[in-house]
Amino acid sequence: MFKNPFNWWKRRVVPCNTPVFASESPSNSSLRASHEYVNINFDSSIRDRDRTALVDDLSSLEKLSFLPLPNGKSVNSYSKFDLNNFSLNFNNMLNDIGKLPIEYFDVILYDFCRETLNKDLDKNCIKLIKKLHHIYRLQSSAMDLKEAEAVLLNENLQVITEKNPNAINDYNLVKEALKILSSIAIKWGFIRIEDYLYRLVGNGANVCMLDLKEINSEIFSAESIWLAINLPKEPLCNLADDQLMQNSQTLISQLPELIGALVALNKDCDFSTTPSIAGLVASKNSEVEVLTGISPDYNANIVDYAQLKLKHGVFKCFNKNKFRDAVNNLYKKLKEFESVFRHFEYGLISNLVTITQNNET
């Protein structure tokens, strides 16, 4: 197995989001900066109740995963931070991915398609995020769980794995798919930093309810998708206007199609004969050898595989790769999904900031 292809994802990112305001759009807003720390509490009555006694539409564990603590901070809240430093980190993330050769992601994609063969990841991705994301969020947080809460956490995880022994592995594959899609979106030029300023500046960076570290360490986060899935339920529905609700439903409907388009790219490859294309691709691009740690295989059989490098203009006429239609389909779906995802996330943070400001006045 070669080096972890997502080492850049693991760098420590200073968590923050940006100020968002309901009357402004992500692409043309004149964002206002504020370093004031805001404690989000969308339901002030919840904070003072016994957390294990919550019985609304969301389960106790789901509520607990974003519930403010007694001291006013949430599971994933942070003290004040250097916003300029985070902007630099976000920019570096885009630059790091931008500098990697597209052929490197051909190798990553091929291996991913091999691992997900016959797994129906597209059909199960929403269910996996809904059932497991908040559990993993609680496990990875620094929150001291009460004994009853810890027992409830373990019981829920046990029930899930008993019904589906592959649930944890499949959930990790969904998160891997989101990382690959984020990388491809960057490589294909869909991501403009000015469209994501709502993550980088001001009051939005202080929203305690969200896992800001996860959201700001990748383009497409399971955190935002989990919130979109649960938005129709109490009490999250209190955050939503009609447009946000519509965006959440569009996001949920598009994600399975997008992951389906991703895993289908190499579905016709013979993985038993060619389990990896790393050596073959490294023989064509020396950077891939450095990145994967796999030596070039100049004697490798020539095999067809999905190539992510886009062809433009007259060069399309000379492109005979049989996977090109599948790549074009992914291009279209990914471009649409990026727009929907960004507008949903922007609207969610905007509403959270607005509610907080109204509660403080």
Query: Which secondary structure element, helix H or strand E, spans residue 170, and what is its range?
Result: helix 167-187
For residue 125, the model assigns a pLDDT of 97
Rounded to two decimals, the pTM is 0.78
Q: Please state, in angstroms and rounded to a whole number, the distance separating the CA atoms of residues 101 and 125.
A: 28
| Neighbouring residues of 157: CB distance < 8 A, sequence distance ≥ 6 | 135
For residue 305, the model assigns a pLDDT of 92
**Per-residue pLDDT reduced to its tens digit, 39-92:** 333 333 333 333 333 223 355 556 555 544 333 444 344 334 445 555 666 777
For residue 209, the model assigns a pLDDT of 74
For residue 154, the model assigns a pLDDT of 84
Q: Are 198 and 349 in contact (CB under 8 A)?
A: yes
Low-confidence residues in the chain, pLDDT < 70: 1-89, 141-144, 202, 204-206, 208, 312-321, 356-361
Q: Please state, in angstroms and rounded to a whole number, the distance separating the CA atoms of residues 73 and 94.
A: 30
